[in-house]
Structure 1
Amino acid sequence: MDLQFVVNPDLCIQCGACADDCPLRVIQMESGYPSLNPARVRLCIHCQHCLAVCPTGALSILGFKPEDSLPLPESLPNAQQMIALIKGRRSTRRFLPEPLDPGLIEQMLATIANGPTGKNNRQCLFSVIEDPATMAVFRHELLEGLRRAVAERRLSQGLSYFRHVVSAWDKGRDIIFRNAPHLLIVTVPSTITTPDADSIIAMTYFELLAASMGIGTLWNAMIRWAISTIDIDLYQRLNIPEDHIKSYALLFGRPDVQYHRTVQRDQVMINRVRLV
């Protein structure tokens, strides 16, 4: 395995931080400088911790150079900004119809691809609807599928409320999609170790990034339940592999509402454990 591991001896201060922080001890210190342990190279999980932890930017790996990374910690938001972001995040149920710029959506997806995954598998598939025409077709096919399920009395007792969804749709109210211009579904192969966690983490990162950009989001389980109810495979229509684990859908777009302050939900259930 060629990891393209390069150390600039003019910048390396021989601190050993890269070797100390390597999760699987792929890096060793040899003659004062970091090098790869041939017996453990195959264990590298491509986490790039060595690239990130080097204080002088002396190390490159996998073709990635330190000068192409954002500098830390000066690029990070401060604690008060993060508190306001988390507390100020709201579920958006009123969207403007105008779509976002595709370049912005691509930037957002590339950013959340940096989120954590089990064993750094990074197998999340981001299925996104960007253009209004596709969103209209998807919305129509799902609602018409629900209409057939209602007419053929195929709704279980737990999903009987979809009758009201169809009725509201006929009256011009979009209860499921809330007129959102975009949809994101994150799926993960069932063969990896942490499929459920990986998809939820990715979508949570997307939600917080969107909030920081003034973009509204809505976690939506109704879409998943509806897809499981209707008589056509909409996951297949979205080119999502059959063996992928599907969780929530996330609606997003510019909100047609503005919130001016955080809510007050600081009441928390804490189990403080002490083992002495």
Structure 2
Amino acid sequence: MILLNVDKEKCIGCGICAEICPKNYIGMTDKRIPVDAGHVCIDCGQCGAICPRAALNHTHAPLTNQVTLDTFQVLNAEIAEKFLRSRRSIRAYKKDIIPKNKILKLLNVARLAPSSNNSQSVQYMVIDNKSILQSITQATIAWMDEAIINKEPFSDNFVDLAEHYHKTGQDVILRNAPCFILALSEKNFMRGRDNTHFSLAYAELFAPSLGLGTCWTGLVETCARSGYQPLLELLDIPENLIVTGGIIVGYPKYSYKRLVDRSPLIVTWHSTS
């Protein structure tokens, strides 16, 4: 199949498309026309996106599906730094239900995150049924209880949370969030978790613009990845998929008043000077 469709009247032979191609798929003829160089193409669409004359159209990433930019949008450094530092893991939510169209808007940005070799491997399962959410918490706690009884190597980290749940009934797993988003990937795909981390990071950073807060749910992911059947049966995940991450989502009950500091920066330089 021909992947590169070049409008020779528009093409100026600049070669930028070949220079930025991540897989060296694009070569240049003696007449400075982009051609298939015989390598693997990952259909990333960067070649068409960067062409100054819109002369190159990729079959699997057509220009009709790309958004034209008058200028490349960049936040100034001060706003960007404050925005990134303002991100918080939210663990207290209002009871308000999130409209489905708002969740879809969040995930439509999450899917645009970078992925290994443009694999775009992440799928999403959205759970906003209160009964199922409660059952997920109960199943995860039961798994933690078993790990504590069996003195699993990691179980010391579970003791305080499990005790608090049993004493108070407070949801220490999903934090009574109205929505839980699970990320899924093919079982045999090695980079599924890496792709998920990028994707859910995009979701976390975009969420505040929708008035939403998020928090990672590492315990549910670990429980699912351990093969704990009560949870897997509850989630009813297709046989070919595994859980690669998850976040709870909701409207924050409180707003933060200050930016929290982190550990000091540690940098090692290898310089020529």
Tell me the equivalent position of 1:255.
252
Task: Report the equivalent of 2:56.
Answer: 59
Alignment of 1:118-267 (within 5 A): 118-129=116-127, 131=128, 134-143=129-138, 146=141, 154=149, 156=151, 157-158=155-156, 159-161=158-160, 162-169=162-169, 173-225=170-222, 232-242=229-239, 244-265=241-262, 267=264
TM-score, reference length from structure 2: 0.82
TM-score by length of 1: 0.81
CA 114–70 in structure 1, closer or farther in 2 if over 3 Å, else same: farther
CA distance in 2, matches of 1:202, 1:23: 20
**Are the aligned partners of 2:140 and 2:220 in contact in 1 as well (CA < 8 Å)?**
no
Look up the SS of the partner of 1:52 in the other structure: helix
Return the offset for 1:236. 4.1
Question: Distance in 1 between the 2:185 and 2:132 partners?
Answer: 25
Question: What is the rounded CA distance, in whole Å, between the counterparts of 1:11 and 1:234 in structure 2?
Answer: 57
1:85 to 76, 83, 86: 83
The total of aligned residue pairs comes to 266
Q: Is 2:32 the partner of 1:32?
A: yes
Question: Which amino acid is the alignment partner of residue 119 of structure 2?
Answer: N
- Could you list the per-position Cα deviations for residues 131-180 of structure 1 after superposition, in whole angstroms to 9, with x for gaps in the alignment? 3xx243232354167469859x85645233323313321xxx22222221
How far 1:20 sits from its partner (Å)?
A: 1.7
Worse-superposed segment, 233-242 or 15-24: 233-242
Identify if the C-alpha distance between structure 1 residues 95 and 149 changes in structure 2 by more than 3 Å, giving closer, same or farther.
Answer: closer
Q: 1:56–1:261: structure 2 CA closer, same or farther, 3 Å change rule?
A: farther
The corresponding residue for 1:12 is 11
Q: Deviations over 1:227-274 (max 9, x none)?
A: 578964323433434564534421111111112342233721222334
Give distance in 2, aligned partners of 1:49 and 1:103.
Answer: 29
Mapped partners of 2:221, 2:107: distance in 1: 21
Distance 1:232 1:212 in 2: 37
Unmatched runs of 5 consecutive residues or more in structure 1: none
Cα offsets for 1:104-127 (capped at 9, x unmatched):
221221222121222222211222
- Secondary structure in 2 matching 1:263: coil
1:123 is paired with a residue whose SS is coil
Structure 2 CA distance for partners of 1:229 and 1:212, relative to 1, 3 Å: same
Change in Cα spacing, 1:201 to 1:180, as seen in structure 2 (3 Å) is same
The equivalent residue for 2:66 is 68
Letter in 1 for 2:120: R
Pick which of 25-34 and 138-147 moved more.
138-147
Structure 2: distance between partners of 1:55 and 1:236: 52
Give the 3 Å change call, closer, same or farther, for CA 262–72 of structure 1 in structure 2: farther
Q: Describe the shift of the 1:233–1:193 C-alpha distance in structure 2 as closer, same or farther (beyond 3 A).
A: same
Q: Is the 8 A contact 2:10 2:53 kept in 1?
A: yes
The 2-side partners of 1:59 and 1:176 are apart by 49
Q: Residue by residue, what CA displacement relative to the aligned partner does 1:179-216 show, whole Å, maximum 9, x if unpaired? A: 21111222333423423322212111211111343311
Q: Provide the aligned C-alpha RMSD in A.
A: 3.1
Unaligned runs of 5+ in 2: none
Residues 224, 243 of structure 2: 8 Å contact kept:
no
1 CA distance for matches of 2:70 and 2:145? 55
Q: Give the alignment partner of residue 50 of structure 1, picking from 47, 50, 58.
A: 47
The counterpart of 1:272, out of the listed 258, 269, 273, is: 269
Q: Which amino acid aligns with 1:128?
A: V
Letter in 1 for 2:133: F
Q: 1:148 to 1:53 in 2, by over 3 A?
A: closer
Secondary structure in structure 2 of the residue aligned to 1:233: helix
SS in 1 for 2:175: coil
